[in-house]
Structure 1
């Protein structure tokens, strides 16, 4: 089929590679414009999808908007059978959605209708979900409201981080989209409307959510830590002057104490109920390290209270 691919981050790269590998004709790749990088922001860095598309020799477009008549006509000129959208980062207006004869397919990182919106991977873990998945949905004007064609379920391990789930999802999702396109091509992809029950929204992560609140139950603290790892990262303040220490990995352990109290010499920390053990930490400007290495350079004795 003739396909327009629309995506930007690493998450979208395996799907683009899968489409090319299946022999489809990718007539255009839409991605976000190169972003400022470097210490002074003077260098412009192409997106991960942009870089891969160029290696494949595919034409790349980086419009700042898709809402003009000119943008619609350019899109129409590709003569695409279908558009595939994976974490593109721009809203597709109705005029664009209506162009491909077989519609626009979106790879979404949740079991719709649960976790519609911007941060489904993080929100699933932060909520303590034991399962999530990826879905191929036919796009419409609403936010992730379109009918679903195929899904693949993914278990969320008790200590799995958002980064680990992201990496698992992007590979499973690429395979799922490949199978969905094959079914679409032979007329066998059936779309089912999403149920009205069970809708939840995965709002964008806000800065105010990232500080660890030790007064919460240990399970809540643990889920927040792993759901925000590796980015933006949960943190607590420590040192003089006070600096942020990110916690990138933790696990639940037995123990009780005042919230934030260090319970042993291996960074078991009391929460509102129960305790968590901090396994991987990162000081500002430093590389992530295991707890043992962190303790070699930072005094965190039992009995101390973390803020």
Structure 2
């Protein structure tokens, strides 16, 4: 059952507003099923944050419809704020505000808030309750913002660039927290530009490019749909002669052939593997460190947004 429905969403800013302008979001549509982690990926300026700010009711769309658990985020703003929590892309609190004061303040804004004490313990903030916001590390601030997004007992939480600026350990700790949030029954709408993050966490991903949905699938599905979803690489013992090089370049199954520092990389399909092995045998090529692997979400992302600068 869909808890978020976005249809033909359009939003234009500035002097370009109107039929002749170039919108930040141009006809975006997707649904988010209850209980899933749904990712939104896209280049900088693609319209990701504008899209989720419309879902949150922070911006008014020019056209299109949005429903969160059946409610319009603008017309039914009070109802949406009771069921949706948000961690914004850029968030700050007064530097002298303690963690305890922030949690108590936000809890006072809701008629039936979560008990912030077990929430703080769950997020590893118990020993930081008397610490001022300005003294928290980046990872601790992110944990606090997650707590504040959850303190209203939401059915949906929107996390926008949650792990930007975090070191690898803090980022992985945050990923575990997001997985724990989903296990608690909360639907997660995750905006990110980290491919590893999206691949690990998301059930489905919408790739937004130039204000439109370029693709929507599971992480594995996006990879399979990308050109060159299978990658074969090897280092020939000796430089290839012209016939071998021409044969490699002419492989019909290969989407791309690259050579760097003497190592060849061929992007193709499963059928490309047999074709490359046959070519190696036919031309008596000794191939060192021959590897076959699946393309990554990075590869799929670049393929889907290749025209974006």
Pair member with larger Rg: 2
TM over 0.5: no
| TM-score, normalised with respect to structure 2 | 0.24
Query: Which has the larger helix fraction?
Result: 2
Q: Which has the higher contact order (CA 8 A, sep 6+)?
A: 2
